[in-house]
Amino acid sequence: MNKSSNTYWHAATITRPDRQKLNGHSSAILWFTGLSGSGKSTLAHAVEEELYRRKCRTTVLDGDNVRHGLCGDLGFSEDDRTENIRRIGQVATLFVDAGMIVLTAFISPFRIDRQRVRMMVEEESDFIEVFCDCPLEVCEQRDVKGLYQRARKGEISDFTGISSPYETPANADLIVKTAGRSVEECVADVISYLEDRGLIAKA
């Protein structure tokens, strides 16, 4: 639903190609999805670090920084998760228009929500779904934030993998297996993908 009638599009004079030219790379969303503890945020930040080294313009959006600001009014019910992902998708799109590579790290458990974000971008190929593939047992064993333990005790409701479903991507653009591998190996997977797609220059 769009209640905002009486508004018109402005043709921005500086275009996305202009920005990409200035930056020397393409813009896109790298959408990391996976269970809590699957390494999304760690990997997104580590990839950003490598991209920074290559003078690429990037930003990381993660559940933690967005949840305290833009989506601070939302909880973890299915509806709120959907609205959370919708807003993040829209913000990511603004970053893509601004010529940036935006790395998002959200569980984003529902296929339909991820699909909706893919539909928001100008070109479907601007949305790169990266599945951080890691068995639940491994995530639960890591349990960096102690959340699985609390979820098992019933102290947290709607916890993905325990009391709320995670829908594995059917057609991820990239699958990164994070169990039993180093962060560096995982980063290399993502960087190779970006190079092969021609989004960034080969090192």
Q: Is residue 122 at the binding interface for a second copy, with CB under 8 A as the rule?
A: no
Instruction: Please report, as residue ranges, which positions from 47 to 66 form the binding site for a second copy (by CB under 8 A).
Output: 48-49, 52, 55, 57-66
From CA 22, how far away is CA 48, in angstroms rounded? 19
In single-letter form, the type of residue at position 49 comes to E
Q: Nearer Cβ to a second copy, position 48 or 113?
A: 48
Instruction: Please report, as residue ranges, which positions from 129 to 188 form the binding site for a second copy (by CB under 8 A).
Output: 145, 147, 150, 156
At 56, list the tokens: 């690429």
**Which one of the listed residues 26, 27, 38, 108 is annotated catalytic?**
108
| Cβ 56 vs Cβ 200: under 8 Å | yes
Strand order in the sheet with 101-105: 58-62, 101-105, 28-33, 127-133, 174-177
For a second copy, the binding residue among 82, 111, 116, 120 (CB under 8 A) is 120
Which strand (E) or helix (H) includes residue 175? strand 174-177
Place of tokens 């991209």: 51
Count the residues of the shown chain that bind a second copy, applying the rule CB under 8 A: 59
Return the closest-CA partner of residue 66 out of 27, 92, 34. 92
Q: Is residue 82 at the binding interface for a second copy, with CB under 8 A as the rule?
A: no
Q: Which stretch binds a second copy (CB under 8 A): 10-18, 128-136, 162-170, 183-191?
A: 10-18
Q: Which residues contact 76 (CB under 8 A, 6 or more apart)?
A: 157, 158
108 is catalytic: yes
Q: Is residue 79 at the binding interface for a second copy, with CB under 8 A as the rule?
A: no
Contacts with a second copy by CB under 8 A lie at 1-4, 6-10, 12-14, 18-19, 22-23, 41, 45-46, 48-49, 52, 55, 57-76, 80, 87, 90-91, 93-95, 97-100, 120, 145, 147, 150, 156
Catalytic residues: 108
